[in-house]
A and B are shown apart, each in its own frame.
Chain A
Amino acid sequence: GAVVSQHPSRVICKSGTSVKIECRSLDFQATTMFWYRQFPKKSLMLMATSNEGSKATYEQGVEKDKFLINHASLTLSTLTVTSAHPEDSSFYICSAMGLAGVIQYFGAGTRLSVL
């Protein structure tokens, strides 16, 4: 299957720090990527849809100024958690739609811990 690479896998930072997470599609071009957040023992929550060359579409309740998304190329989307606080501690996962536009492939996720 298609490969999606996400980096870093783990971040521990101080409150107030901004954290950037990268999501790359390694063997296909992804015009659309998705960012999810998952709290312990909870279900996946879609945060935003990242569109190459245009502004991201955020889900209700997700602050666009807090979670900055950039999708500058067909293989890279980034999520920046600005001025992170302990309540932002979570598992962030990106995904990309495969070439046929049907199956989503996920990155390995980034575990963020804000102290």
Chain B
Amino acid sequence: RKEVEQDPGPFNVPEGATVAFNCTYSNSASQSFFWYRQDCRKEPKLLMSVYSSGNEDGRFTAQLNRASQYISLLIRDSKLSDSATYLCVVNSGNTPLVFGKGTRLSVIA
């Protein structure tokens, strides 16, 4: 079983849509969780950390379910500029961070 699994997509959604990405991780001892965003031909950039209580940053909401070892990212009111690959990332206590293969999102006008 892969350490971090994500649906690769692509997710093609119209502007204004709400889209959700899911991610599962295998190491129950994992301690920290993140979503990174990677644009085409660019480096990954931290989008947000994920906490058990859930956290929201504008149109983005991240949730963590430790019991199910499941992480989610919800994007509301999608913009064209949201088109990117979203990477689920887990810190299991051993460097480096473990990256999922990413989910591709295309927001269409």
Residues on A lying within 8 angstroms of B by beta carbon are 1, 32, 34, 43-44, 46, 49, 91, 93, 95, 97, 101-109, 111
Contacts and interface: CB of A to CB of B under 8 A. Distances in A.
Given A44-B44, A106-B45, A49 B95 contact: yes
Given A102-B32, A102-B91, A107 B99 contact: no
Contacts of B101: 43
A101 B94 CA distance: 10
- B interface, size bucket: 10 to 19
B96 interface: yes
B95 A105 contact: no
Contacts of A95: 96
Contacts of B44: 44, 93, 106
A43 B99 contact: yes
Contacts of A49: 95-96
B34 A103 contact: yes
A32 B95 CA distance: 9
Nearest to B97: A104
Interface in B36-52: 41-46, 49
B46 A105 contact: yes
